[in-house]
Amino acid sequence: MTSGLRGNGTIRARMVARGLALAIGFAAAALGCGSSSSRSASGTGGSTGAGAGGRMAGSDAGPSAVARNDAGADASGADAPADPFAAPPTCTSGKTWTGADNGSKLMNPGRGCITCHSKSSEAPVLTLAGTVYPTAHEPDLCDGASSTVYSGATVVITGADQQTITLTPNTAGNFLYQGGLALPFRVKLTYMGRERMMAVAQTSGDCNSCHTQDGADGAPGRILLP
Ligand code: HEC
Ligand code: HEC
């Protein structure tokens, strides 16, 4: 596949759209496309999501002007749609998990499932787990892309041995898998004939540990429904 090329295009588009987002005053900390800067903007722990309004503050005029120029130049003749990763933080479902660490397939959407399970003797060992969201920066514990609303969405994992595993997000948007998997693996999300692919092969199945609200370890944000 041309996933490498596609990834570069996506990253470029993301840079441009981040510029656009800055121009409207969102997430100044993401300027410069450094994943480390966006990661440090709010960290991973404990966000309960009230904060969309609070996070709008702090754009500064200089970088916005630069970003606007960049976006303008690039938009001419570009057929790229608006970058969904420029979306503001929100909990689209309006539903938040309140069951603490009571074991369930629906538990703790958005949090790093395997990070926590690996510290507990009672929690099941999971090979892959994570949460699919309809927008790119949803807070921890917010229910993701529910199978009842977004039916037909799949997470397709292809192991190093070319074996394919197809997972379906549940009503919290969570998906999980407990069987064997040859590393590294590749990831593709599908929904309504559209796709999003992870360009880089991964060895960790703890999807949400990188796909945090703001994105950690270079990830652009949440695992986004195509
Ligand atoms: C902060 C810790 C923590 C996080 C984060 C977490 N879990 Fe759990 N999970 C547990 C613990 C502890 C148990 C076992 C205790 C229990 O079943 O009540 C458990 C149990 C489970 C079970 C077994 C339920 C059953 O019926 O036996 C499933 C399935 C599960 N988790 C899925 C997930 C998924 C999917 C995620 C991520 C979206 C996740 N968990 C995130 C702590 C966590
Ligand atoms: C170690 C960190 C890490 C883990 C774990 C991880 N990802 Fe990613 N993911 C990334 C990074 C970095 C990118 C951006 C570069 C790329 O596309 O490879 C990304 C990109 C993606 C994309 C494409 C985003 C876009 O541009 O639309 C999808 C889809 C995705 N990941 C899904 C998953 C799923 C599902 C899992 C778990 C099975 C997972 N990822 C685990 C780091 C990670």
Residue nearest to atom 12 of ligand 1 (CA): 123
Model pLDDT, residue 151: 97
Identify whether 95 is part of a domain.
no
CA angle (47, 51, 53) in 5-degree steps: 165
> With a 6 A CB cut-off, is 128 part of the ligand 2 pocket?
yes
Q: How far is the CA of 115 from the centre of ligand 1 (A)?
A: 11
Model pLDDT, residue 21: 39
26 with 126, same domain: the answer is no
Among residues 183, 219, 216, the alpha carbon closest in space to that of 201 is found at 183
Identify whether 105 is part of a domain.
no
212 with 117, same domain: the answer is yes
Which range of residues forms the domain containing residue 184? 113-224
Q: Specify the pTM.
A: 0.76
Cβ 126 vs Cβ 117: under 8 Å: yes
Q: Closest-lying ligand to the alpha carbon of 84?
A: 2
Identify residue 165 by its one-letter amino acid code.
I
The CB-side HSE value for 72 (13 A sphere, CA atoms) comes to 7
Q: Which ligand 2 atom sits nearest the alpha carbon of residue 128? A: 38
Identify whether 107 is part of a domain.
no
Q: Which ligand 1 atom sits nearest the alpha carbon of residue 115? A: 5
- Number of domains composing the chain: 2
Cβ 107 vs Cβ 156: under 8 Å: no
Identify whether 13 is part of a domain.
yes
Model pLDDT, residue 80: 64
Q: How far is the CA of 112 from the centre of ligand 1 (A)?
A: 10
207 φψ region: left (φ > 0), alpha (ψ -120 to 50), beta (else): alpha
10-residue stretch averages of pLDDT, the chain, 226 residues long: 40 41 38 36 35 35 36 46 92 98 98 98 97 98 98 98 98 98 98 97 98 97 98
Identify whether 211 is part of a domain.
yes
Model pLDDT, residue 180: 97
CA distance 65 to 121: 53
Model pLDDT, residue 146: 98
Model pLDDT, residue 79: 63
Residues 6+ apart with CB under 8 A from 203: 183, 184, 185
Model pLDDT, residue 118: 97
